[in-house]
Structure 1
């Protein structure tokens, strides 16, 4: 996904939520026995509206200005327009990313289970993997395979990419971290990178090849994408920090609600700046 995507984005006159979205959610973490089961308490789902004409026009223009100049004020405007008109408002835009937050909650629960060895299945999974003397990259690949649903939709590809990217970046920045025995603070930090990558992927896919259309040289295009993801991590991460202690020992569904609320608060902040 990311800037290499050739999509022109979704059209107008269609549902704001794609028809396969709930199938993607149902497949997250269903491939093995290690991910702790959900408690069945689903977050409220906002009925999707119908996309208006030229839903991303304002967002594309502001995003193009950010691509050309690196001005993060334009990036804030792009995200605000993306959410308010393109996504039907902050609540609906966060709800559209419920596959992302569901997968993030599954990733959190999985890493917490294997780190603490809280179930026989988790301990056996770790022992089997360690017996292969895996590299850090092998461990990341194994975690993604265990959690990410099979399939070829854009959402499924994004989930795999975001898990891989966030885990790899966290290990790169903190070489002493063992992803098979992570503490809860490190897992929360991972969630910030994961959500930022998911939000960045969503922007790049829905808005289309804005970086390419801005006629940037390849080095600048890569730099702008990195700037975008750092910006998103800082903004979303601030809301994750505000919310992470609102529920003691959150269940998987409560984790998904916390992550979705962090996205909603971030979208609301950018919409308020318009």
Structure 2
């Protein structure tokens, strides 16, 4: 599911927000806090040993407050994710309709119909994933979102209604945040008991999905063919709200 087996996590000297990922370029960043990952990784280690939701919530609180610099900084880290997500939403909405916009991105609706879902994912990611440091994360999030919502059957554009497109967007954002957290846990994953990692990852992903559903969903209810700029804004506001909720989780 995740990348825990090979993840080392960021070092404390690495930027809070890499330049390619910054959703608010030009705005100053706070000074790096020494050992900013310590409380988060320690709390996540406790969660890995206990499996308790309360311990996971505490770890996410430390992730939001200290590891990522707080709600004013953490959501900035996902700028490339927002941009690619708004592209994904627009292209999928086009495929669900007349396919005109998708054609301009080299993704032809008629050519996708009846293709294996992995082929469709490959074509989407080839067209939409930016060549930057978040490319693998974005590609993985798109693939997982498409398969989670549409399944593994051959692609049928008629199944891609507005509800499905919105569900794919929410799953995409959830998967991107999930991958980021899994990577930042770093070597703490070694504290998990044998065979416990999949369950810990699954519980983390479900926690992220649930909070994104209640924060992103209301912004999309009743909307169709939402402009790219608004989708970008909706995703950023969603993570602003998520970070605020997580920050409230106490020690």
TM superposition score category, shorter chain reference: 0.7 to 0.9
Residue 233 (structure 2) aligned to one of 227, 232, 257? 257
Residue 84 (structure 1) aligned to one of 49, 54, 65? 65
The aligned residue for residue 16 of structure 1 is 16
1:166 aligned onto 2:167: no
**SS at structure 1 position matched to 2:138:** helix
TM-score (norm 1): 0.80
Q: Distance in 2 between matches of 1:177 and 1:72?
A: 36
| Alignment of structure 1 residues 1-274 onto 2, 5 Å | 2-12=3-13, 14-21=14-21, 46-119=27-100, 122=103, 125-130=108-113, 133-150=114-131, 153=133, 155-172=134-151, 178=156, 182-211=160-189, 213-217=190-194, 219-245=195-221, 249-274=225-250
CA RMSD of aligned residues (A): 2.7
Structure 1 runs (4+) deviating above 6 angstroms are 42-45
Q: Distance in 2 between matches of 1:120 and 1:111?
A: 9
Q: Which runs of 5+ in 2 are unaligned?
A: none
Q: Which runs of 5+ in 1 are unaligned?
A: 23-41
**Residues 139, 168 of structure 1: alpha-carbon distance in 2 compared, 3 angstrom cutoff:** same
Q: Is the 8 A contact 2:12 2:37 kept in 1?
A: no
TM-score (norm 2): 0.87
Q: How many residues align?
A: 247
**Residues 179, 271 of structure 1: alpha-carbon distance in 2 compared, 3 angstrom cutoff:** farther
Task: Using the TM superposition, give the Cα deviation of residue 122 of structure 1 relative to its aligned residue in structure 2, in angstroms.
Answer: 2.7
Task: Using the TM superposition, give the Cα deviation of residue 45 of structure 1 relative to its aligned residue in structure 2, in angstroms.
Answer: 7.0
